[in-house]
Structure 1
Amino acid sequence: MGYQARFRVWRGSAEGGELRDFTAEVNEGEVVLDILHRLQATQCPDLAVRWNCKAGKCGSCSAEVNGRPKLLCMTRMSTFAEDETITVTPMRTFPVLKDLVCDVSYNYVKAREVPAFQPPADLGPGEYRMQQVDVARSQEFRKCIECFLCQDTCHVIRDHEPNKESFSGPRFLMRVAELEMHPLDTAEDRAEQARGDHGLGQCNITRCCTEVCPEHIQITDNALIPLKERVADRRYDPLRWLFRR
């Protein structure tokens, strides 16, 4: 049996906007994205919402539901009470283009700042050999769908716009950590790059990025904290310092 749910959806652009109230039918098994599509079909055909796969794998439909960063296609209506008003707003960390669609180009700028994997010059295609333990260490990080929910919830850039210049955010610090763990990567000191170029020191490991990850990647515990430890070892361990000198 369906029911009528109350929604508050943010409508507007970079110049400004407001939350508008809607009532929409909800049927068994539906997700928030289904309701937004129904609103587009019946009440506001110009509602802008980004989506692609509707299977939690493309990362396109990121937004905030009741103030929490979520994928709209993975947020089931059954998790809300029938008499609850559900508020849907765009990601707060990024500039709004229209309605629920944000300009996430900041993330692609930061992605280009991470040097690509650099294999040894004397190894040809098909000659890479790694121990399974080394494969397993970073396998988890390759599940990232780049929904940028971790970037959205990270208070370093969410609450402090000027930090975007010097801080790459958890998604790209995780990428640096993944490459730094790779035994065949020959790029120059990625841990030091994380400290200097990507602002690793600004991360204070609150684990908010881990909490919102739809792929359940342990970003903080398995990527950021180990990377911070390796940076600290290289800079402050007296034996390592002497060896570098």
Structure 2
Amino acid sequence: MSGKRQFRIWRGDESGGDLQDYMVEVNEGEVVLDVIHRLQATDAPDLACRWNCKAGKCGSCSMEINGKPRLGCMTRMSTFGDDETVTVTPLRTFPVIRDLVTDVSFNYEKARETPAFAPPADVAPGDYRMQQVDVERSQEFRKCIECFLCQTVCHVIRDHEENKQAFSGPRYFIRAAELDMHPLDARTDRKEYAQAEQGLGFCNITKCCTEVCPEHIKITDNGIIPMKERVVDRRYDPLVWLGSKIFRRGETPQTSVTTARQGSATPGSARGGVHSHAGGSHDSRAEAQAQSGVNWHREVPHPTAPAVDDRGKLPLTELTFDRAAAPSPFGDDVTFPLPPEHLNFAHPEQDNKH
């Protein structure tokens, strides 16, 4: 295991850069971060790399190693072949500051936008009491070290920069799920907020966030999917939906944030035929609100069929359709989760030869 190993490391800043090759001494039992420190001490003293605890608990040394987001301090050199070139690049989703250091302030902005825990008004601090089963339900999500590997691997913003405004990402979906499970949280609109304000509808559960999580949090199975199911129960379950048409006249739940923005809609926000990713509601008033606060006037695919016919009646096909929702936009031949070989972890420049 000991001996010289070839490393290919991205060097540059916000104005540009390239991959540079280095031959570095590697000793048995070392991790990638050890090798980067040795490289700083020998051949590249100006190489910028963020790190702190070197114990897999601070999340600082996030980087992309051979195209996959990982922690440098938790990636052992023994996992690579003796003749394998180890390519290290900065997190692809976030702007580069210098070398392997990226600007992850996007995540802190989304953290500030996420509503905090709302304690019950009739219980004083120090008097909170929870059953152990309730503690255990959300304890998994508290293990998050905010390395933001799940954020950088999520293709919704990894491949589509324009989605960043409307999408909070997996890290804050599990925060919303944690608070929605909390028996003492006074807010009752966590599900609606996740759908309308955090962009939960953008996630198509490919589970790549779960795959890269160093704390092994089942982000998709235990956080995102349950939140999606609870949203679907309210909006798309045929019986619940039919009841809403009969008793609530098509009204849809609105989050406090969306409601507060009702008066801020711009003239273009209620264009005919435009539906938000919060939607499927077929309620023009609700869609106008969602457009003004969520989708920033970007058009998305129209619903596959109207909720009612031209006379305002419920079509018989809605009751006889053989599925609980509309046909999948991905086609009937696609199943989830996608196989690993279909996930794009590759850095766009990692294969360039220099």
TM-score, with structure 2 as normaliser: 0.67
Q: Which moved more, 1:211-220 or 1:128-137?
A: 128-137
Q: Per-residue CA shift, 1:3-29, capped at 9, x if unaligned?
A: 110000000001000000000000011
* Percent of residue pairs bearing the same amino acid type: 70
Query: Superposition RMSD on alpha carbons, in Å?
Result: 1.4
| 1:91 alignment counterpart | 91
| 2:226 alignment counterpart | 226
Inter-partner Cα distance in structure 2 for 1:55 and 1:187? 36
Is 2:185 the partner of 1:182?
no
C-alpha deviation, 1:174, in angstroms:
0.8
Q: Which moved more, 1:69-78 or 1:119-128?
A: 119-128
| 1:160 alignment counterpart | 160
Inter-partner Cα distance in structure 1 for 2:241 and 2:100? 51
Q: Which runs of 5+ in 2 are unaligned?
A: 252-354
Inter-partner Cα distance in structure 1 for 2:213 and 2:108? 19
| 1:173 alignment counterpart | 173
Q: Per-residue CA shift, 1:173-232, capped at 9, x if unaligned?
A: 110111011111012401000001100000000000000000000000000000000011
Inter-partner Cα distance in structure 1 for 2:133 and 2:185? 16
Inter-partner Cα distance in structure 2 for 1:185 and 1:239? 30
| 1:238 alignment counterpart | 241
| 1:110 alignment counterpart | 110
| 2:73 alignment counterpart | 73
Larger radius of gyration: 2
| 2:35 alignment counterpart | 35
State the one-letter code of the partner of 1:238: W
Contact 1:3 1:82 (C-alpha < 8 Å) held by counterparts: no
Is 2:135 the partner of 1:132?
no
Inter-partner Cα distance in structure 1 for 2:202 and 2:15? 31
Report the secondary structure of 1:18's partner residue.
Answer: strand
Inter-partner Cα distance in structure 2 for 1:15 and 1:107? 22
Report the secondary structure of 2:157's partner residue.
Answer: helix
Q: Which runs of 5+ in 1 are unaligned?
A: none
TM-score, with structure 1 as normaliser: 0.97
Is 2:208 the partner of 1:208?
yes
C-alpha deviation, 1:240, in angstroms:
7.1
Inter-partner Cα distance in structure 1 for 2:137 and 2:242? 26
Inter-partner Cα distance in structure 1 for 2:29 and 2:9? 21
Inter-partner Cα distance in structure 2 for 1:2 and 1:140? 38
C-alpha deviation, 1:132, in angstroms:
1.6
Is 2:9 the partner of 1:9?
yes
State the one-letter code of the partner of 2:87: T
C-alpha deviation, 1:238, in angstroms:
3.4
| 2:147 alignment counterpart | 147
Inter-partner Cα distance in structure 2 for 1:78 and 1:63? 18
Report the secondary structure of 2:146's partner residue.
Answer: coil
Change (3 A) 1:239 1:179: farther
Inter-partner Cα distance in structure 2 for 1:95 and 1:126? 42
Inter-partner Cα distance in structure 1 for 2:243 and 2:181? 18
Report the secondary structure of 2:222's partner residue.
Answer: helix
